Structure 1
């Protein structure tokens, strides 16, 4: 049985065939992953572009609403005064947002991670686990 029959492959032929098939399978999986990433990238790009467009139109809509507020107040007051009122209100709102943002940043600065101390604590916990 040293010589294989033409119908049955030898062990070496089986290993070579397995190696070739495995290589083909891995290459196919890599190509599939590339195609999926490319498709996901296109979809994400389109989504991001649409969000940017929505933000731009939202900005213009907000500007129109501000102009509408100015014109609405101008029916009872002079136009310059109504624009001044709306401008001051917007500045107050911007100041409030800045104040809240600063408070949030200051609060974030209070949390100071200490990686060295945490690492030492982790080492002590592991040492205690081994000694127990």
Structure 2
């Protein structure tokens, strides 16, 4: 019987391990970016179609509001007022609604604040990478 010597496996050096690891990480990142791009293409296409449909719906809703305004003005004229007064009443009604919405919008806008916790964590990020606290 022939006696074989065990195969000697050469241990990789630290430098080779680092090169291999960085190559693998780089390849993984490139593949993740390619996956994200392909997913985004599908999402952007669907989003574009959705935006177009919402724009068409908003346009039709605007036309409906105009028709409703004309109808309200005519109903007001049935009370005995002139049609011009009906349109003027509808105009002031819309002006009042716009004023109330604007007032509420300004009050809500004053409640908006910067994301202070996220900003604080972002400022700590460079020192955390360096191993400092």
TM-score computed with the length of structure 1 as normaliser: 0.57
Give the alignment partner of residue 65 of structure 2, picking from 51, 62, 65: 62
Q: 1:50 to 1:112 in 2, by over 3 A?
A: closer
For residue 74 of structure 2, what is the aligned residue in structure 1?
71
State the match for 1:38 in structure 2.
41
Partner Cα distance (2:63, 2:93) in 1: 18
Match runs of 1:1-132 below 5 Å: 33-76=36-79, 77-108=81-112, 111=113
Q: RMSD in angstroms over aligned alpha carbons?
A: 4.0
CA distance in 2, matches of 1:35, 1:42: 11
Give a deviation string over 1:65-104, Cα, whole Å, max 9, x none: 1111111111122101111111111111111111111222
Instruction: State the SS of the aligned residue for 1:107.
Output: coil
What secondary structure, in the 3-state scheme, does the structure 2 residue paired with 1:62 have? helix
Describe the shift of the 1:102–1:40 C-alpha distance in structure 2 as closer, same or farther (beyond 3 A).
closer
Q: Answer 1 or 2: higher relative contact order, Cα 8 Å, separation at least 6.
A: 2
List runs of 5+ in structure 1 lacking aligned partners. 2-21, 123-132
Q: How many residues get paired?
A: 101
Question: In 2 relative to 1, CA 64–30 (structure 1 residues): closer, same or farther, beyond 3 Å?
Answer: same
CA pair 36-104 structure 1, distance change in 2 beyond 3 A: closer
Structure 2: tracts of 5 or more residues without a match: 5-23, 125-133
